[in-house]
Structure 1
Amino acid sequence: MNPGWQAVAAAFQFLTRFPVKAELDYTPELFRRSTRHYPLAGAAIGAVVWCVAAAALYLLPPLPAAVLTLVLWVALTGGLHLDGWMDTADGLLSYRPREQMLEIMKDSRVGAMGVMACVLLLLLKAALVYSLLTEGWPPLMLLLPPVWSRWFMVHAMASWPMARGNKGLAGSNFNGMEKRHSAAALPGAILLTAAAAGLFPLLGVGEWTYGQAGLAWVALPLAAWAGGTWAARRMARKLGGLTGDTYGALNEGIETLLLLVLVIIQYRL
């Protein structure tokens, strides 16, 4: 397998539970190269989520369709990012000194704050997906939150220091990420967004107008960058940098933020 396909396979094996059959030698260099394909892995997740949402909505009322869609969404990632969301909540909401926060986040056990944060996040996500399905056919923009949330993870790796240096999974494999890695992932995210825009006239988007869809194409990347930057700065200030858990938390938070933006566009604009 050539290096390009190895990087694609590594991105899918690491971020998803798609059955990618490839024997890879996971080196830090391969991990860093694979990040340029994170938006593509997000697009694959988004495409499956959209298809399942459409099928579920054909068979079921919007609420159970939304819950089943979210169950699949979590299953496609193996709960990887939810684990980071819970660990980050346990650490940051402990209000302890920096070193103790990092120790709490490293603990494999989930505390009360992590459980509450997970339950509230899933409730909000289910409610937002439900809102997007109540107008009938799922909006095509449902493909995009997983794309831009994963692009921002790459941007965060390249923009903020590692809180634990070269220790831990993130530190040992992604330490040394540079702006060029973030820049390499950006064209893919933009092209995938453009491809989704090109499918708009073919697949239809329920009650969405072209004006709403056009606004979503612009608003989602901007919201991902703005919301992610605000959250990453606050976490880095408290922890002295970012960790693998915080990357997962950023992904979950940005996905939820972008679903919220879509609901606001659908109902208020």
Structure 2
Amino acid sequence: MASGFLTLISFFTRIPVGRKIMYSEENFKKSLSLYTLMGAVIGLILALIYMVFANIRITFVRGLVLTMAYVAVTGGIHLDGATDTSDGLFSGRTGDRVFEIMSDSHIGAFGVICLVMILLSQFVFFSYADMSACMMMPVVGRASLTASCYNKKYAKKTKGMGTLFVESMTLQVVAANMAILAALIIVLPNSAVLAAACFASLVSAVFISGWVEGRIGGMTGDTCGFVTEMTQIIFMILVLFLKG
């Protein structure tokens, strides 16, 4: 499990793990129960940066630094998926043409719009939210993804990096990730606000993935990134709204 968790860190972040990780499908599948915990690692880094800039008078500086830090730590992996998905799903095309657009290395107009919206949302959120909310943002995004992939199939005919992830989301894996999410909510300040925002985000993720499934017949690695980033935006908005 520990080796699998390090594999998750090496796959989905740019955090150095200190040694060469030997990939194993079995270890990867087992480690998916800790996928939300990986989000907590990212969140902890954001929380530490927040503490450094906690007393700065111009909060937009903190927002900018945290936004850049999130992109740097994650390597923009979900941002890339979100932009590709936006280009494909909003292109007006159907069938395999959607997958061709999503696989194109060039970014289109809808991808640019999506990227700007995500980064701007993060900038505003990190500028005004407290440390607990900043830490929970990547946690909620990853917990929501596990819920949204449950009982879904991989949409593409050819197998990709997201195949094992999507098709390994069993009820047990989702339950383990929800337990991690609940534990973090309980120990952090403003638990009521975080719990309400998390619940609504989880529901939103399921609806978004259902819409994606209706369009392309399932989930892919790119759509996983799309669900993660969209859910995080929903969480951000709800936290700021509920706190007033």
TM over 0.5: yes
- Identify the residue that residue 176 of structure 2 maps to in structure 1: 184
- Identify the residue that residue 209 of structure 1 maps to in structure 2: none
Matches of 1:165 and 1:32, distance apart in 2: 21
Matches of 1:249 and 1:44, distance apart in 2: 21
- Identify the residue that residue 155 of structure 1 maps to in structure 2: 147
TM-score (norm 1): 0.84
- The range that moved more, 31-40 or 21-30, is 21-30
Could you report, residue by residue, the CA deviation over 1:207-245 in whole angstroms, capped at 9, with x for unpaired residues?
A: xxxxxx232132132112111011111111001101000
Structure 1 residue 142 displacement after superposition = 2.2
Alpha-carbon spacing, 1:236–1:17, altered in 2? closer, same or farther (3 Å): same
Matches of 2:171 and 2:157, distance apart in 1: 18
Matches of 1:60 and 1:98, distance apart in 2: 51
- Contact 1:32 / 1:181 at 8 angstroms: preserved in 2? no
Matches of 1:194 and 1:10, distance apart in 2: 28
Could you report, residue by residue, the CA deviation over 1:56-98 in whole angstroms, capped at 9, with x for unpaired residues?
A: 2434511122111111011110000000110001101101012
Task: Tell me if 1:31 matches 2:23.
Answer: no
Structure 1 residue 173 displacement after superposition = 5.5
- The range that moved more, 61-70 or 167-176, is 167-176
Matches of 1:130 and 1:40, distance apart in 2: 24
- Contact 1:39 / 1:189 at 8 angstroms: preserved in 2? yes
Matches of 2:225 and 2:176, distance apart in 1: 20
**Structural mapping, 1:83-232, within 5 Å:** 83-132=80-129, 138-165=130-157, 167-172=159-164, 174-196=166-188, 200=189, 213-232=190-209
Matches of 1:111 and 1:27, distance apart in 2: 35
- Contact 1:40 / 1:192 at 8 angstroms: preserved in 2? no
Alpha-carbon spacing, 1:39–1:177, altered in 2? closer, same or farther (3 Å): closer
Secondary structure of 1:14's partner? helix
Query: How many aligned positions are there?
Result: 244
Matches of 2:233 and 2:172, distance apart in 1: 27
Highest CA radius of gyration, 1 or 2? 1
Letter in 1 for 2:213: A
Could you report, residue by residue, the CA deviation over 1:156-193 in whole angstroms, capped at 9, with x for unpaired residues?
A: 33321110156111125653432222123222222222
For structure 2, the 5+ residue unaligned runs are none
TM-score (norm 2): 0.92
- Contact 2:83 / 2:115 at 8 angstroms: preserved in 1? yes
Matches of 1:102 and 1:166, distance apart in 2: 11
Structure 1 residue 45 displacement after superposition = 1.1
Q: Percent identity?
A: 26
- The range that moved more, 163-172 or 91-100, is 163-172
- Contact 1:56 / 1:69 at 8 angstroms: preserved in 2? no
